[in-house]
């Protein structure tokens, strides 16, 4: 089975994440997508982050009606930052029957060389790069040895935007799956009030 891996903080999960996953499934590039929330993201500030178990629970509920979408808690098993290289070594050893493709947005490409053991990643991982306009300069990905591209319509939603709307007391309706909307509001209102 070919598994697409969608990693990130998912702080919180939103409709953009779901639409990307659905588009990849519909492209027949993979058979399933595994959401892999980071426990400690090595390149992001953690202030205002919801607890890992809260983020994991939100993803589980958000994708409950999508049988080809799964969520995994692999990152919780280590106290180390969520390094993709270590994750991929674990997956190859634990699931030798599967092929894995790592899904990234086009906007991630400029920071890839900052990732832990980038040279190993470039040698050992196939990347599926999601582009959102047909005129994006794909030459930025020329150094990636194993890559494919998927163009999807632009999705103007971000987790930062959702957290800011909650801080401002504004609605997030339509930006997140309806079955987790009220819970996201509750969690991130509380996170805001308890953050230093």
Q: What is the tens place of the pLDDT at every residue in 125-183?
A: 999 999 876 566 667 788 899 999 999 988 889 999 999 999 999 999 999 999 999 99
Q: Which domains does the chain have, with CATH numbers?
A: 2-155 (3.40.50.620)
Beta strands across the sheet bearing 147-151: 69-71, 32-37, 2-8, 99-105, 126-131, 147-151
pLDDT for position 132: 75
Residue 97's alpha-carbon distances to 5, 46, 91, 190, in angstroms, are: 15, 35, 10, 42
C-alpha dist (Å) from residue 162 to 10, 38, 112: 11, 19, 25
Task: Report residue 12 as tokens.
Answer: 């919180």
pLDDT for 4-54, tens place per residue? 999 999 999 999 999 999 999 999 999 999 999 988 755 454 456 799 999
């Amino acid at each position: 089975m070919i598994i697409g891996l969608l990693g990130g903080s998912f702080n919180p999960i939103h409709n953009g994440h779901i639409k990307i996953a659905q588009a990849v499934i519909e492209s027949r590039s993979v058979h399933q997508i595994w959401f892999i929330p980071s426990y400690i993201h090595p390149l992001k500030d953690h202030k205002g982050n919801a607890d890992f178990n809260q983020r994991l629970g939100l993803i589980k509920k958000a994708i409950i009606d999508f049988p080809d979408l799964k969520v995994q808690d692999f990152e919780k098993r280590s106290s180390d930052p969520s390094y993709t290289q270590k994750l991929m070594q674990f997956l190859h050893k634990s699931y030798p029957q599967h092929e894995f493709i790592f899904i990234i947005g086009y906007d991630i490409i400029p920071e890839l060389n900052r990732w832990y053991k980038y040279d190993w990643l470039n040698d050992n991982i196939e990347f599926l790069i999601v582009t959102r306009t047909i005129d994006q300069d794909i030459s930025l990905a020329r150094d990636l040895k194993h890559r494919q591209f998927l163009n999807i319509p632009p999705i103007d939603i971000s987790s930062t935007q959702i957290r800011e709307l909650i801080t401002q007391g504004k609605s997030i309706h339509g930006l997140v799956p309806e079955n987790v909307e009220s819970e996201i509001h509750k969690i991130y209102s509380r996170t805001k009030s308890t953050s230093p």
